[in-house]
Chains A and B, each alone.
Chain A
Amino acid sequence: MTGYVLRRLGGALIVLFLLSALVYLLFYVAPGDPAKLACGPRCNAEQIRQVRGQLGLNEPLLTQYLHFLQGLVTGRDYSTGTGVLHCDAPCFGLSYQNDQPVTELLAARLPVTASLAWGAMVLWLLLGVGTGLLSALRRGGLTERVLTVFTLTGSATPVFITGLLLLMVFCAYLQWLPFPSYVPLSEDPEQWAWNLLLPWTALALLESAKYARLTRSSTLETLAEDHIRTFRAYGVRERTVIGRHALRGALPPVIALNAIDLGTMFGGAMLTETLFGLPGLGQLLVHSVRTVDLPVVVGTVLGIGTAVVLANAVADVLYALADRRVTLT
């Protein structure tokens, strides 16, 4: 077991390492001259040359990449000509816009994205697993048909359309909810939840369709298994059969999928954050792409990549732990 977990995490680390090399290569080699971008549009040739020296862009590419990796582990210093800017580990570099360490920018955005992810997860699990179970237990008939329509439209509707429709109904027409603006949880929990309710719902409506489908098929599969038939034959109450035994068999794939989705959400829900104006990681990425702030782009992409790769590894391990039929080798 421990061996499997270690191997899986080791594999994830290798992927992350390759990812860092790929992203670094792409963003620091492809786009013409990073020094020009870092310096800004009004720089003359002399200033650009200076910036190039400060960023270490005169060194060979491999050395630059090693410095980048080193910065990730130990932090690094940038000389600005007049002084030294220190960038703590893990250092993704400094923003071209205002010389702020990228790590700080990411850390400032994380609570917003985390709030969005956790809340949405609770909603989509309630909604998705609930409807999935319901339709598995009442096969055929109206429930199943409604679910079919729900899953088809739910997963086909882009989140910004769902969000816009929600805004039109609850914010403009009924005026029950405010246009979301992020209030930190530590400041005012009630306002925090009240403001995030619409984004959570928009995400949950999108995701829950997938969960409903998965829960349904997984439950049906479990219910058809021999041990369930045996429990029923022994006269175990239906509630116990479903609630204790069928659910235990049906949930592992749901748990695994959830780990992946949560990882993706932690990487920033770009569309949702952009629509509702929430200052999370996704919005940071979109903004840094528009301003061609390469260190921030690289930092965000690597941060998001890490979240997703780790989530995939965790999903595999959770799946193996939750489903005792999977033998780990």
Chain B
Amino acid sequence: MTNQHEAGIRRRLRARPSAVAAAAVLAVLALLALGAPLLAALEGQDPTTYHDRLIDSARGGVPLGAYGGISGDHWLGVEPGTGRDLFARLLYGAQVSLLVALGATVVQVLIGVLVGLAAGFGSRFADSVLSRFTDVMLSLPTLVFAVALTAVVPAGFPRPLLLILVIGLLDWGGTSRIVRAQTLSLKKLDYVAAARLGGSPPWRVARRELLPALAAPVITYAAVRVPVNIVAEASLSFLGIGVKPPTASWGQMLSTATTWFRADPLYVLLPAAFLLVTVLALTVAGDAVRTALDPRERSRLRVGTRDGSRGAAEPRGAAV
């Protein structure tokens, strides 16, 4: 990419207030996640110590004091039932959330690009087999298979890695479709044809001529995937098959919150707010990246087309 081109992209990103705001929110979140140990130390707490004195055992373990036990020692109160520090747990939860979502996105992009390139650039037979396979993967309910897969993995397997693999291995169909479609149209261009006629082996043509041209659409789609993967991790944790306790995660906190929503509303609202803000900021940022990388694209919401439900870029159904 030329410098001028990059400057254009940066200018278009800065011209959108929503993009700037989303970027700021994401920067703060990343800092909170990375600085979790430091910030928790600053507060003087850690995410795993039980504080029996701070909860009312007569009332089943509701935090003592107003608003879930918010105090100078516990900035966002404590967890009902255990008295663990909520501020620290929320920050450490951000680590899990972002790590899993980004890792899963990388896996999805790797598989999607490989399969898509092979389908678009390979033989007709390879294309039909791979495309069918992609169709099948796209039609499977991801969350169901992710849940089922966790049943057959040995208990000792590191959980964050398992989550990354499960989400990444199941949900790459969209990326692969986009890469295949792009490859098919790139293949017809003169410079690619010239490279092939020049005698370069296919893999070198793919690496040197196709991959650079695929960067923009792949980055665009990957940006849209991250918030979806955040929700996937939260969903698995909500179902009790995410990271193992005592590691904190937002989904697991929300799952515990189902028994506390009457007595301690703040314990629902805090993890929900963190999760929602993250997802919304990532969605807005993804939209901005798309607009910036493709100037022809108007800044509008992604609308379904007539065959939108079967379209390539249309995100699949939400997890229910």
Contact = CB atoms under 8 A, between A and B. Distances in A.
Interface of A: 15, 18-19, 23, 26-27, 30-32, 148, 151-153, 155-161, 164-165, 167-168, 171-172, 203, 206-207, 210, 213-214, 216-218, 221, 253, 256-257, 260-261, 264-265, 267-272, 274-275, 285-286, 288-290, 292, 294, 297, 300-301, 304-305, 308-309, 312, 315
A276 B53 CA distance: 31
Given A158-B231, A304-B141, A214 B308 contact: yes
A272 B320 contact: yes
A297 B240 contact: no
Given A168-B261, A286-B240, A156 B234 contact: no
Given A164-B268, A264-B317, A286-B240, A157 B144 contact: no
Contacts of A27: 148, 151-152
A168 B268 contact: yes
A304 B141 CA distance: 8
Contact of B144 (A160, A270, A290, A315): A270
B144 A301 contact: yes
B283 A156 contact: yes
A301 B261 contact: no
B275 interface: yes
B279 interface: yes
Chain A CB within 10 Å, residue with most, of B151, B231, B240, B265? B151
Contacts of A269: 320
Nearest to B133: A18
21 contacts: A26-B149, A26-B152, A27-B148, A31-B153, A156-B280, A158-B234, A158-B279, A160-B238, A161-B254, A167-B261, A210-B304, A214-B309, A253-B307, A253-B309, A267-B141, A267-B144, A285-B147, A286-B239, A289-B147, A297-B148, A301-B148
Interface residues of B, number: 51
A261 B319 CA distance: 11
Interface in B282-320: 283, 301, 303-310, 317-320
B279 A308 contact: no
B211 interface: no
Contacts of A157: 276, 279
Chain A binding site: helix, strand, loop or mixed by DSSP? helix
Nearest to A273: B320
A47 B144 CA distance: 33
A257 B306 CA distance: 11
Given A31-B152, A260-B309, A213 B301 contact: yes
Nearest to B300: A148
Given A164-B261, A172-B262, A271 B235 contact: yes
A158 B147 contact: no
A160 B234 CA distance: 10
B17 interface: no
Contacts of B268: 164-165, 168
B238 A152 contact: no
A259 to B, nearest CB: 9
A161 to B, nearest CB: 5
Interface in B139-158: 139-141, 143-145, 147-154
B258 interface: yes
Contact of A31 (B151, B227, B303, B306): B151
Contacts, number: 169
Nearest to A18: B136
Nearest to A159: B320
Contacts of B234: 158
Contact of A256 (B147, B235, B279, B309): B309
A261 B317 contact: yes
A158 B275 CA distance: 9
B147 A257 contact: no
A136 to B, nearest CB: 11
B261 A289 contact: no
B151 A294 contact: yes
A217 B148 contact: no
A304 B279 CA distance: 28
A260 B317 contact: yes
A305 B137 CA distance: 11
Given A15-B136, A265-B320, 7 more contacts: A158-B318, A161-B276, A164-B261, A203-B320, A221-B306, A275-B238, A294-B152
Given A157-B276, A253-B306, A289-B148, A148 B301 contact: yes
A217 B303 contact: yes
Given A156-B276, A156-B280, A297-B148, A206 B318 contact: yes
B280 A152 contact: yes
Nearest to A15: B136
A270 B276 contact: no
A213 to B, nearest CB: 6
Contact of B147 (A18, A152, A286): A286
Interface string B205-232: 0000000000000000000000100010
Interface in B241-278: 241, 251, 254-255, 257-258, 261-262, 265, 268, 272, 275-276
List the 4 closest A-B pairs by CB distance, nearest first: A217-B303, A269-B320, A214-B304, A31-B152
A291 B257 CA distance: 23
B280 A164 contact: no
Given A271-B320, A304-B144, A151 B301 contact: yes
Nearest to A286: B239
Given A203-B320, A271-B319, A156 B227 contact: yes
B319 A158 contact: yes
Contacts of B154: 31-32
B263 to A, nearest CB: 9
A305 B140 contact: yes
B309 A289 contact: no
